[in-house]
Structure 1
Amino acid sequence: MRRSVALLGLPLLVLSGCAAPGAGTAPPAGPDQPAAFTQRAEEVAGRWQPGQQWHDGYVPLQDATVLTGDPGFTGDTKVAFHAGWYRDQVKMPAAVPPDGVIRFADGELRVPLVSAADAYAELDQGDPPPCDGRPAGPRMSRPGSPEPGGPTVEPGPEGPVSTSAPTPCVPLTVTAARLGSAPVWTSRGRAEVPAWLFTVDEMAVPVARLAVAPRAVGAVPSGAADGKPLPGGLVAAEGLRAVAGDRLDYIVGVGACDSEPTPLVLERPDVVVVGASVVRPTGVCTLQLKMAPVSVTLDAPLGDRTVLDVGSGLPLTVRPG
């Protein structure tokens, strides 16, 4: 099986994690906003000209693996979810279902779907590493124990001993699959998208894998920036954390010694351009990029407007916090 990392997307466009204490917040753009940001944001907004599919097709702005609520993560299950470690306990249907419907705020779109087997093949990203001195799955009986529920082999005189902290090594157990839908952030705002819902024993809610066939999924256009570096004191946005009405929570990339990240925003009828300003250090500092959460309140609810990064000009996608 393949080994890659599955990203996290949650319903209602809210991602795991909360803004750190002291995280920046800001009102809408005003006269106190740096002129360098306003000029750059105006240029980015003016260059943004996506194709027709952006407005009437399906272009998702988050990963195709979506949680359907609070999963009740433990440390191990959170690692397994992000890594895409699964084991199936049921036979996945290979039949392709009839076309499904994506429901946007401004209408509907009929799209071809994939089978549960194909969706699960994309969901399952590989196997966990070998367990270090603890069970890799359900507890097993000692040899000779009369029943499956008998004593288990634990670290000790008859089992392996580990002196280090346990390494997450347990996959998530899939026991059922059904076709449903999941909320997804798209180029046309929030939409209900057909998805295969996989019941997982170790989690409180199903894991959804979007069921839209790849041929019906549009690509995110290239950035609308001119390739020039940002002016001094400005930093780029790295992704959205949450969208709720007129509030945007997003992440900016700051230097290891930068301080006071302050969100900046430019609103237009079709786009919102975001970034932040920082206070640069005066002394020597390591070349290290950190992610800082910030929040901004818009003049009006975001709706189906596109959120662009002032640095690259790219649309921001929903990503883990």
Structure 2
Amino acid sequence: MSRRAGSARTTSAPAMVVVMAVAVSLLTAGCGSRPETGGSDDQDLASASAHRSRQVAAAWDGSAAAAEWRSGYHPMAEVVQPPHGGLRGRADRRAYRERNFVLRGELPATWPKTGRVTWSGSPPLTRPLTAPAESYETLAGARVGDAPHLTVTGVEPGTMSLVTSRGPATVPAWLLTLDGYDSPLRLAAALPSELPASPIRPDRDLPGQPLRRLTGIAADGRSVTVVALHGVCDDGPAVDVLETAGSAVLSALVKSREDGGTCTKQGKLEEVTVKLARPLGDRVLLDAHTGRPIAYR
């Protein structure tokens, strides 16, 4: 089943705007110029996208790569969880956003080198654990002067609940005690599994751009939010979805300008929420351009 998420999507709100020099392919496919395919229009681009999506789905469905994906540990949600109830006040929220942390406690000197990720009704998986110092360094940036900060007074091992490619899981975590908070900040300690090698090569000739990342999955699994790149003077990104029993293939296109005008080499990153016909479940979420799973970032 192929469904279009563009003008029909429920949400398409800019998450951030990044002005950058981009490849000529973006200027051609994303800024109103027509590709040299004998006068093709948006419908022709959508047709090419749908054809590629079918190829990607056929390559993945029932493949060894899909089986490897489903047997691994792949986070599909944020691996850092603030204290229960969230951060209090503008200063603390700014400190968290800017990664301003101060460590005034001791990091554990010894720790287990492996831990078990567990699922309900699915076999557990043993994964290497990151060291407390390494985990803390990934969380805390370089504090700037007198900017607001969060103070870490202790770190201890624990667990956290996390959405993964195999559904909700209990994951080993480092629990960071924050000054002024009754519950800890949780940071996943288990290293994710490596992404399986794709059974299909990337298609560098497909118009549009690969999706940048997955930023969220709805609680009911019936929609996903991804970040797409498009030109500053086109009509915005559209994301097509092809759903099968084993996968959901997303393909990002851009809607060309009606006036066919020229455009500068600039781009925007924009969040697009795509509705699915049924919950994603353990189906593989794939990008049509790369032929690879869309990772959470």
State the alpha-carbon separation in 1 of the partners of residues 286 and 296 from structure 2. Answer: 12
- Identify the residue that residue 217 of structure 2 maps to in structure 1: 243
- Identify the residue that residue 104 of structure 2 maps to in structure 1: 89
Residue deviations 1:255-282 (CA, integer Å, cap 9, x gap) = 1112143331001111111123322232
- Identify the residue that residue 149 of structure 1 maps to in structure 2: none
Q: How does 1:274-289 map to 2 (within 5 A)?
A: 274-281=250-257, 282-289=260-267
Q: Which amino acid aligns with 1:265?
A: V
- Identify the residue that residue 295 of structure 1 maps to in structure 2: 273
Distance 1:113 1:41, change over 3 A: closer
State the alpha-carbon separation in 2 of the partners of residues 20 and 230 from structure 1. Answer: 28
- Identify the residue that residue 271 of structure 1 maps to in structure 2: 247
Q: How does 1:167-246 map to 2 (within 5 A)?
A: 169-201=147-179, 206-212=184-190, 214=191, 217-223=192-198, 225-232=200-207, 234-244=208-218, 245-246=221-222
Q: Does the 8 Å CA contact 2:70/2:282 hold for their aligned counterparts? A: no
Q: Does the 8 Å CA contact 2:250/2:286 hold for their aligned counterparts? A: yes
TM-score under structure 1 length normalisation: 0.65
- Identify the residue that residue 34 of structure 2 maps to in structure 1: none
Distance 1:288 1:102, change over 3 A: same
Distance 1:70 1:274, change over 3 A: farther
Q: Does the 8 Å CA contact 1:252/1:275 hold for their aligned counterparts? A: no
Residue deviations 1:133-191 (CA, integer Å, cap 9, x gap) = xxx2xxxxxxxxxxxxxxxxxxxxxxxxxxxxxxxx34321123333322334332332
Q: Could you tell me how far 1:311 is from its partner in structure 2?
A: 1.5
Instruction: Give ranges in structure 1 of 5+ residues lacking alignment.
Output: 1-17, 22-30, 137-168
Q: Does the 8 Å CA contact 1:93/1:115 hold for their aligned counterparts? A: no
Q: How many residues end up aligned between the 2 structures? A: 252
- Identify the residue that residue 19 of structure 2 maps to in structure 1: none
Identity %, equivalent residues? 28
State the alpha-carbon separation in 1 of the partners of residues 234 and 130 from structure 2. Answer: 48
Could you say what secondary structure the match of 1:34 adopts? helix
Q: Which amino acid aligns with 1:57?
A: G
State the alpha-carbon separation in 1 of the partners of residues 105 and 241 from structure 2. Answer: 49
TM-score under structure 2 length normalisation: 0.70
Distance 1:116 1:276, change over 3 A: closer
Could you say what secondary structure the match of 1:35 adopts? helix
Indicate which of 45, 55, 60 corresponds to 1:43: 55
State the alpha-carbon separation in 1 of the partners of residues 244 and 126 from structure 2. Answer: 31
Q: Could you tell me how far 1:94 is from its partner in structure 2?
A: 2.0
Distance 1:73 1:263, change over 3 A: farther
Instruction: Give ranges in structure 2 of 5+ residues lacking alignment.
Output: 1-10, 15-42
Distance 1:83 1:192, change over 3 A: same
Q: Does the 8 Å CA contact 1:101/1:194 hold for their aligned counterparts? A: yes
Q: Does the 8 Å CA contact 1:248/1:297 hold for their aligned counterparts? A: yes
Q: Which amino acid aligns with 1:315?
A: P
State the alpha-carbon separation in 2 of the partners of residues 285 and 74 from structure 1. Answer: 43
Q: Does the 8 Å CA contact 1:181/1:195 hold for their aligned counterparts? A: yes
User: Which structure shows the bigger proportion of residues in helix conformation?
Assistant: 2
State the alpha-carbon separation in 1 of the partners of residues 135 and 160 from structure 2. Answer: 16
Residue deviations 1:86-124 (CA, integer Å, cap 9, x gap) = 221211222324864322244141525648734544445
Indicate which of 10, 13, 16 corresponds to 1:20: 13
State the alpha-carbon separation in 2 of the partners of residues 240 and 124 from structure 1. Answer: 20
State the alpha-carbon separation in 1 of the partners of residues 265 and 112 from structure 2. Answer: 51
Q: How does 1:113-124 map to 2 (within 5 A)?
A: 114=129, 117-118=132-133, 120-124=135-139
Q: Which amino acid aligns with 2:104?
A: Q
Q: Which amino acid aligns with 1:249?
A: T
Q: CA RMSD in A?
A: 3.4
Indicate which of 112, 116, 119 corresponds to 1:101: 116
State the alpha-carbon separation in 1 of the partners of residues 138 and 265 from structure 2. Answer: 35
Could you say what secondary structure the match of 2:212 adopts? strand
Residue deviations 1:277-312 (CA, integer Å, cap 9, x gap) = 322232222212212222222221111111111121
State the alpha-carbon separation in 2 of the partners of residues 272 and 60 from structure 1. Answer: 17
- Identify the residue that residue 34 of structure 1 maps to in structure 2: 46
